[in-house]
Structure 1
Amino acid sequence: MRRDRVYAALFGRGDAKGLTITQVVSVVLILISVGVAILGTEPVVVAAAGPLLRNLEIGFVAAFTTEYLMRLWAVGANPVYSGFWGRLRYAVSFYALIDLLAILPFLFGLGAQSLLVRLLRLFRLLALSRLIRYSQAMRVVLGAVIERRYELTFSMALSGCVILLSSGVLYSVEAESNPEAFGSIPRAIWWAVTTLTTVGYGDAVPITVPGKFFAAITAIAGIGLIAMPTGILAAAFSQGFRDVRNTEASRK
């Protein structure tokens, strides 16, 4: 059936290795579209090749929209998504939503240059997320993040608590002598974030003895807070790729 052939071209076959020609073309278009989106933020390039960039964006809109609609039609070849409700279920799945979110911002590629429009146009970079569908490594990484979501959430919550605590302490001891950097808790939060992440821009520095003492404690705590999610993800990635290798070995 024609729909089965289209489904195999767009989604690939489960028993086939590598990408189909259609998928390769899609990957190339995704990479080019992201490159055009990046170049479109440079005024010099826009002044020199503005019409060309706009024509390319129109072409990307047409190509990605056609692919999206073809996926909605062809996915019915999969018994899991057959019928109207099956297609609707696919339309709200992760990959389908990524496809849709990667298309819609192209519609804001022309016209006014307001802040809202510029923010919406940045979402064109979501097209890169579509590459997850074609990369087993990306799928393993995404699966590892999802699998360890509870540990990562705890790590983020703990980091947030430490940021608020250190900001409150530095505000209490530094507000009078250093109001520009620590005159409020929101100002102190900026210092806490840069310190805990070990970035340390140096634009906010405690000057009192108690402030320096608590700043030192915060900096030391930041080492552990950064290492915690790193260790969680490293273990998850290692386990994910090990499972893939074991699965491939069992098929041989």
Structure 2
Amino acid sequence: MQQPDSQAASDYRVWRRRLYLMLEPTARQAPGLSITNRCIAGLILLATILTLLETEPVVRALAPSFFMTAEAALAMAFLVEYVGRVIAAGEDPRYRGWAGRLRFMASPWAIIDLLAILPFFLTMGAVNAFALRLLKLIRLLRLARLGRFSNAIGDLYRAVRGRRYELTVSLMVAGLLLVLTSSVIYVLEASHQPEAFGSIPRALWWSVATLTTVGYGDVTPVTPGGQVFAGLTAIVGIGMIAMPTGILAAAFSDAMQKRREQGEEHDND
């Protein structure tokens, strides 16, 4: 006859295994997310939308108590989820035992989970307005948690890592162009506009805005030579932006193609 303590331990392990399968996407054999994780993803999006709406004074004035009530409910839901993930982590051999649970709590995703719920519990008391707004911004980290549910995030990471050499070269070219263009425009415009172009660091702002094709227009050359050079810089900026964009697009396309091929092989098997 099985002892009560051993029966309770066995029931706990079964419950923990079910919890692990509900919360850990990599533990599922079936494709897609579990119903639990779909609900969590929905709550993350809802919490982010409420955070954005709350910053609008007109919307907040319509229902001043609604946002606090909704935030309290969401904070409790995410706290339950966080505790559940810490408990379920014991199913992973890396996180078994108390030391393993501490390692799990120190992992990047677990830290983001904790930072996402801390602001509510830290700002329930008297806090100055600036600190309150600053802490509430941390709630937007909830949206980042969706990355654990998306294979596309992993594909993007592998794509960037696979093309890190090309991206590094493009960043070096971009840095060289920034220094070069700011130096030239400094020579051409410094005597006419010392406030905007009186030094290379001052001219660097113009170079950033022009090379990225943003073109705020707050600082513009007035000399003929400066205007001609500004036009050339804007044209070069198109290529500078297109280079890393093309590298990332090609890498991401290759990663998605590999995923489709793997999916077809899995279906054939």
TM-score > 0.5 by shorter chain: yes
- Give the match for residue 128 of structure 2: 112
Distance 2:69 2:172 in 1: 46
Cα deviation code 1:90-110 (max 9, x no counterpart): 333332233233333445666
- Give the match for residue 83 of structure 1: 97
- Give the match for residue 235 of structure 1: 250
- Give the match for residue 209 of structure 1: 224
- The answer to whether the aligner puts 1:143 opposite 2:143 as a matched pair is no
Deviation at 1:19, TM superposition (A): 1.6
Stretches of structure 1 that go unaligned for 5 or more consecutive residues are: none
Pair 1:161–1:50, CA change in 2 (3 A): farther
Distance 1:89 1:30 in 2: 24
User: 1:1-252 counterparts in 2 under 5 A?
Assistant: 1-12=14-25, 13-107=27-121, 111-114=127-130, 116-252=131-267
Q: Find the structure with the greater CA-based Rg.
A: 2
Are the counterparts in 1 of residues 21 and 28 from structure 2 also a CA contact under 8 Å? no
Are the counterparts in 2 of residues 61 and 106 from structure 1 also a CA contact under 8 Å? yes
Amino acid corresponding to residue 7 of structure 1 in structure 2: Y
Q: How many equivalent residue pairs?
A: 251
Distance 1:148 1:97 in 2: 29
Distance 2:187 2:122 in 1: 46
TM-score (norm 1): 0.89
RMSD: 2.2
Deviation at 1:141, TM superposition (A): 2.3
Amino acid corresponding to residue 23 of structure 2 in structure 1: L
Deviation at 1:159, TM superposition (A): 1.7
Quote the sequence identity (%): 49
Deviation at 1:200, TM superposition (A): 1.1
TM-score (norm 2): 0.83
Amino acid corresponding to residue 112 of structure 1 in structure 2: N
Q: Secondary structure at the match of 2:63?
A: helix
Distance 1:90 1:25 in 2: 23
- Give the match for residue 3 of structure 2: none
Amino acid corresponding to residue 18 of structure 2 in structure 1: R
Cα deviation code 1:58-96 (max 9, x no counterpart): 222222122122111111102232233333333333322
